[in-house]
Structure 1
């Protein structure tokens, strides 16, 4: 019986690890905050409302859109997104060629691990979190679409999971809706929306 339980647990952990590699780890829990609020939470957060982030994109179009993405969270929420070049660093923005995956952006913990914390609404343990764009796809994205992916991944690093919006209309759609194909291509979202801002207020 114990061997069966161990095998079942190993299967679950393998599935979670596989989903994490795809940037689709299920949210540990969700939070609702009034009618129409559809944000969900990772239940982990940054150590303070001053979030120190580093641009490792090499500049150019990617660097500019990373800066614009951070500025959008800074202006829409109580957070201060501080661009830094020295430790401590909470978020690293980067881009790299990952080939034909099923993701354009991904958030990982330090060393490529799964981001985690030890308590509900606790601080991320494996900082800095690294947000990455997959240039296989994003090289062809216009500037605002690159920004949409950067800002979405920053939202994950700040503690927000995917929005539980039905994805059938643009009304109420947030930046944290899971697919850029609908979020940006259909609805043109590249800035934090009401639902995203409500999530940050809930967390911090």
Structure 2
């Protein structure tokens, strides 16, 4: 009787296990706090130097071209949904970059009940750390924070080629893998969100 019960349990569990093993192991995207109401995003460049402006523009272009027409970025001078900026947060800040709401408020306080942003979201790069970065490395930081604004959370994937732009540490994301824009996992998340 126990063998029959064990066999029955195995048959019930087996299809579930099979589905899990057939799923793509690279699907590591996580959903963040909120997202934009649509994939048509107005963005503003509030960076202060050419090295940061180029990195920000390149990060926007990387998301725009990788998102398979799900996202369209339009550069504006006012009324932006997304603002990319650089600022000196100092050494004690501890992050090279961060996504924040207006007046440096946390993202949670800028999420409406419908799951969309109620205020512009700022993708910041900390110049205290990033002044020593190359333009492509700054681009990787901007692309990561833009991903948060789009609705993606950090990923724990640790190795190339599966590591997404949403890996929170620059070391594996850029220094090891050389990634400056969204990866397949990031786009999988965008396809679900938009």
TM-score (norm 1): 0.78
One of 89, 93, 99 as aligned partner of 2:90? 99
Question: Alpha carbons of 1:149 and 1:58: their partners in 2 closer, same or farther (altered >3 Å)?
Answer: same
Render the CA deviation track for 1:94-152: whole Å, top value 9, x for unaligned. 111111131000110122211132446x2112x21111111111011011100000010
Which position in structure 2 is the counterpart of 1:35?
Answer: 24
Render the CA deviation track for 1:11-43: whole Å, top value 9, x for unaligned. xxxxxxxxxxxxxxxxxxxxxxx4220000114
Which position in structure 2 is the counterpart of 1:68?
Answer: 58
Which position in structure 1 is the counterpart of 2:177?
Answer: 187
One of 107, 116, 132 as aligned partner of 1:123? 116
- Contact kept? 1:52, 1:83, Cα under 8 Å: yes
Distance in 2 of aligned mates of 1:118 and 1:42 = 13
Distance in 2 of aligned mates of 1:98 and 1:115 = 17
Matches within 5 A, 1:46-195: 46-77=36-67, 78-87=70-79, 89-100=80-91, 101-116=93-108, 117-119=111-113, 122-125=115-118, 127-165=119-157, 167=158, 169-195=159-185
Render the CA deviation track for 1:161-180: whole Å, top value 9, x for unaligned. 01131x1x213111100100
TM-score (norm 2): 0.82
- Contact kept? 2:164, 2:183, Cα under 8 Å: yes
Matched residue count: 166
Specify every segment of 5 or more residues in structure 1 that has no aligned partner in the other structure, as ranges. Answer: 1-33
Which position in structure 2 is the counterpart of 1:45?
Answer: 35
Quick check: which one's helix share is greater?
A: 2
- Contact kept? 1:40, 1:164, Cα under 8 Å: no
| Structure with the larger RCO, 1 or 2 (CA within 8 Å, 6+ apart) | 2
Specify every segment of 5 or more residues in structure 2 that has no aligned partner in the other structure, as ranges. Answer: 1-22
Larger-Rg structure? 2
Distance in 2 of aligned mates of 1:135 and 1:118 = 30
